[in-house]
Each structure stands twice: as C-alpha cells, then as structure tokens.
A = this chain, B = another copy of it.
Amino acid sequence: MSLDGFIAAPNVDLERPLGDGGERLHYWAFGDGSTPASAADREVAGELFTSTGAFLIGRRTFDVGEGPWGEDGAFGQPCFVLTHRGRELLRRGPTTFTFVTDGIESALAQARAAAGDRDVCVMGGAGIAQQYLAAGLIDELHLHLAPVLLGAGTRLFEPLGAERIELECTRLIASPGATHLRFRVVK
C-alpha cells in the first residue's frame, strides 16, 4: 500500500485493474517499466509464493485480475474466490480458481485443506482483508509500503466495526523499492 494507506488508485476497472496510475504501488515488485525491481525487493516478493499454499481473493479483484494474470493464472496455486455469483472451477495452467459462495469461513476451510502445511494468504482486495480481520481470522499482516502518497483510491483499512487489534512487529526490511513490514496479530 502507499504510505497514506491506499492499495489501488481511483477508477479501478477492467482496463485499469489498479486504477489510474496505481501500478506505482507495485513498482517495488515489478519495476517501473524502465528500471527493474531490486534484488532485495524481488526476494521479498518471491517469498509470497514459496510460503503460500493457497490464496483467498475477492470477486472484484478476480474480475479485474483475470485478464492481466494471463494464461497461467499468475498464482501457480489453488485460489479461492469469495463471491455471491457461483461459477465453475477455472483452470489456468498450474492455477485453479474455485468460486466459493457460502462465506469467508467456508472459503478459509477449503483454502486450508488445499494449502497443507503452508500458509493461506488473503491476497485482496481490501474488502475481504477487512472481513477476515474483523472476524479474528488473520494471524499475520505482511505489508509492503510503497514510498508515495497516492492521495486517493481504495484504502486497505477502513473502519473495522470491531475491537481494536493489537499487533507485534516481527519483521522490518527497508529495500530500495518499499518498506516491508510484518506484524503478528496478538490474540
């Protein structure tokens, strides 16, 4: 997210899955088009795929991501898409997308079963991250702070409608493209 808390710029749609200029938020992982991402940043980005055994994804994130993620589905893992509109299992190379219509706990149970002893990652968007947080189902937050004030867009954290949540910072990496923060949820 940007330092001011946005994970997408304004006007997200199929043409602009991160909103107007929102790709700025991911320069740290993919480079800015002229300069590639740094080795340190790429290492952090790569950890996501080695530690994760299944992804949880919101329907809107899936809808705007399906095109950009391409023929191999980008994740290379089982993905579970929270949705009110059911759809058949979708295979994209090594990636599978399972559409779950019976709620966040069911999706988490299915993702856990698929992940084995690896982590389940709530990939986004903000809506499902907020739902899992408010339900007390998040163990760790991994944040990648892009050094920019975006000024507007979609916030990762909206008012929770829940008790405050205590955290403990467990890792901190300053790499050229971003500040990578990891927090454990204190339960």
Residues of A at the B interface (CB closer than 8 Å) are 3-5, 21, 24, 133, 141, 143, 145, 147-152, 155-157, 159-169, 172, 174, 179, 181, 183
Contacts and interface: CB of A to CB of B under 8 A. Distances in A.
Contacts of A150: 164
Given A179-B181, A183-B3, A149 B164 contact: yes
A109 to B, nearest CB: 24
A187 to B, nearest CB: 13
Contacts of A147: 166-169, 183
Given A5-B4, A157-B4, A172-B174, A165 B179 contact: no
- Copies per complex of this chain: 2
Contacts of A164: 21, 24, 148-151
Contacts of A133: 149
A171 to B, nearest CB: 9
